[in-house]
Structures are given as structure tokens and as C-alpha cells.
Amino acid sequence: MPQHIRPARVIQKLEPYRLNAFSYTNLSKDGILKLDWNECTIPPSPHVIQAIESFFKRGNPNWYPDPAAEELEERLAEYVDCKRENILVFNGSDSALDHLCRTYLESDDPVVISAPTYDHFRVFSIAAGGAVRFFRADPIFRPDPEGLIRFSGKEARIIYIANPNNPTGVMYDSYQIEQILTALPAALLVVDEAYYEFTGMTVSGCINQYPNLAVTRSFSKAFGLAGLRVGYVVACEELLSQVSKLRNGKDVNSIAQVAAVAALEDMAYMEAYVEQVQEARQYLTEALTAMGMETVSSPANFILIRVAEPAGVQEALKKEKIYVRDRSYITGLEYCIRVTVGTRADSERFLKAFQNIPENFLSSP
């Protein structure tokens, strides 16, 4: 019998990231309303589609992509209002987070994650050898910089904050972020701003004042490019020079680079969508509250709804081709489902289906 090759010990013990239970592979995608992964609910800008079509007609898909992502990084530097040397592009912000962990963690280095949050950072940290500890504010729906500083201590190597946080919606302001940076100068503070476009709040302007700060962002949310995987890090030049040692520039494919540049050239399209989301979020939250439902809104493109039977609600919505995320297994989010907010039409369709769910699934637990 052939022997199985043994994986590294850290991988043997690693609990994988928990994916949504539903598979779309064998489903007709016609009429599906995906409200489970916080994606943009409309297609990307027509300008993006035109740029991709033009690339296939006149570009060179037989060539490797620009490993320096020169045009994209220049456009991003303008967008972020920093030097190009402060930008590094990756195959999605997930890859950026992974590279930060692999660059700055050694065996058993303490990693503090403000939880509950996006769980892939735990995976990246442990895979890189880090020893993860979870900080949970009390209550979990408020920022607690002082508590996080005390919990982290001087030994923390990396601290991770999603800002605003998914799924709780908690957002630290710039003063609170600077509190942490100042108190713990030996720790790398990773601020995940995947939802920046919905909030307009950023600490990217602090990168040169605080060399222990790395800001990550994504094109997967407001820009609608989740399927193409484009993200980036904003940090001081020295920090990025170290991360660059691991980075393979070919990972950011040519189509993704072309699409991201085009998206930045049509900011009005993205901004109009963000405005739709903000209006729809208010509409949906008010309508659910009027139904007697307990909700937690966010400054981003999602809300939490507390229901009696999350699995039953999820299944009932699935029959209407509407997909939401069950978050009830997470400590502090018992009985909660998370719903992506898109356009007003998306919210009206969701609400109509939600109102037809059996009362015993919805009644307050």
C-alpha cells in the first residue's frame, strides 16, 4: 500500500476556514440572489467590460502579466493619495494578508485577532507558525482599544483588526487605531479595510508616521471584481520591501490588472452603487425593525438579523433562490444570520421572501 505523505504538523492541527454550506456548481444561476458573501450585487462598470474585451482583441494574453503592476499601482497611488512605493498589489486582499503573515511571523509568535471576524486571517497566521489568541470586546459590538492593548501586551507580533469588522460591523476610528499603534510599536497592526468604499474612513494616511501599520484593501466589494481577485497593501516603503521578497508579481493576472485600472477610471459607477447600498441598508433595517426583528446594521454592505431558527430561515430563503450566511455558530452571534445589502430592488425581493417565512423560524429566541 502506498504511504500517505504527512503534512506539516501545523497543517495537521489547522482547522480550515469554514465555507458556506451551499454549492452553486450544479444550480442554474438564473435568478439567484447571492446575499451570503458580501459581494457587489450588480455587474462591474461597463467600462471594465469594455477594457477586458479590448484586452482580448488587442492585448497579449499569451504574455505573462506585468509583474510590477505598474499602471495599476500608479492609479492606486492616486486613489489612496500616497506614493507608488507605498502600494503593493496582490491576487486579492487574502493573498496580501497571507504574505504579511508569512513575512513577519516565526514559530509561536503571538498573534492577536479582534474577534469574531473574518476567519481566514486565523488560517494564514497559524499556517505561518503564529500562536493565535482572540480578543473579544465586551460587548462585541463596540470598539475597545484599551482592552485590546491590555490583552495584546508587549509581546504581540501581529494584531489584526477588520475595520469595519465583518460580521459585527464594529469600526475603530482613526484616533483609536493610533492609540494601538502608539502603545504597541513592536507589533505589526494589520487594518483590513476591505469595506473602505462604503465608509470613507481610513488610516492609510498614517503609514509613514507608523511603520508598524499595514492597511489592506480589496476590489471585491464595492468595485464588483470579486471573481477576478485584486487587492493591495498600503504601508511604509520598508515594510513593503520585505513583503516583496515573497511576492510573485505574476500572481496578479493581466485581466485583473486591466479590470482594476478600468474600475478606478469610472469612480462614479462605484460611488453610485455605494449610495444605493446605503439607502437600501436603511430601508431594510427599518422594515425589519417594523416587523419586530432584532437587527444589527453596519457601515458596510451587510446587516445581521437575529432569528429563532437560522438554519430554517436559510433553507426557506434558499427555496426562493436567495442565499444568506448563517453566523449562529460564532460565539456572541448566536441565532444570527448575515445578509448582504445590495440595491433597493435586492432588498425588496429579500424582504418579500423573508416575510413569508414561517413565524416559528423568525420569532425572537
* Confidence bin at 349 (pLDDT 50/70/90): very high
Residue 4 pLDDT class (50, 70, 90 cuts): confident
Domains, the chain, in order of start with CATH, read 9-44+268-362 (3.90.1150.10), 46-266 (3.40.640.10)
Quote the pTM value: 0.95
pLDDT confidence of 12, banded at 50, 70, 90? confident
pLDDT of residue 19: 72
Q: How confident is the model at residue 1 (pLDDT cuts 50, 70, 90)?
A: low
Nearest to 219 by CA among 339, 121, 90: 90
pLDDT (tens digit, 9 = 90+) per residue, 184-227? 999 999 999 999 999 999 999 999 999 999 999 999 999 999 99
Mean pLDDT value across residues 313-327: 96
pLDDT at 59: 85
User: Could you read off the pLDDT of 105-148 as tens digits, one per residue?
Assistant: 999 999 999 999 999 999 999 999 999 999 999 999 999 999 99
> Strands 302-306 and 294-296: what pairing?
antiparallel
Question: Per-residue pLDDT averaged across 291-300, rounded?
Answer: 96
344, pLDDT greater than 70: yes
Structure confidence at residue 365 as a pLDDT band (50, 70, 90): low
Residues in CB range of 229: below 8 A, 6 or more apart: 91, 92, 94, 95, 220, 256
Give Cβ neighbours of residue 84 (< 8 Å, ≥ 6 apart): 73, 74, 76, 77
**Structure confidence at residue 363 (pLDDT):** 80
What pLDDT sits at residue 143?
97
Q: Would you say 141 and 168 are in contact if contact means Cβ atoms under 8 Å apart?
A: yes
304-332 average pLDDT score: 96
Other CB atoms within 10 A of residue 229 CB: 20
| Residue count of the chain | 365
* Alpha-carbon distance values, 214 to 71, 96, 105 (Å): 22, 10, 14
Residues linked to residue 191 through DSSP beta bridges, in sequence order: 161, 215
Categorize the per-residue pLDDT at 27 as very low, low, confident or very high, splitting at 50, 70 and 90: low
Portion of the chain with pLDDT greater than 70, in percent: 96
Work out the average pLDDT over 80-102.
Answer: 98
At 295, phi and psi to the nearest 5?
-125, 155
pLDDT band at 15 (very low <50, low <70, confident <90, very high): confident
pLDDT at 291 > cutoff 70: yes
Query: Which of the 8 DSSP states describes residue 354?
Result: H
Between CA 158 and CA 108 the distance in angstroms is: 12
Mean pLDDT of the chain: 94
- pLDDT of residue 30 exceeding 60: yes
Whether the predicted pLDDT of 359 surpasses 80: yes
pLDDT score of 2 more than 70: no
Q: What percent of the chain has pLDDT over 90?
A: 89
Q: How far apart are CA 140 and CA 53, in angstroms?
A: 46
Confidence at residue 9, expressed as pLDDT on a 0 to 100 scale: 82
pLDDT average, residue stretch 151-158: 97
Question: What's residue 28's pLDDT?
Answer: 55
- Is the pLDDT score of 25 beyond 80? no
- How confident is the model at residue 301, as a pLDDT? 98
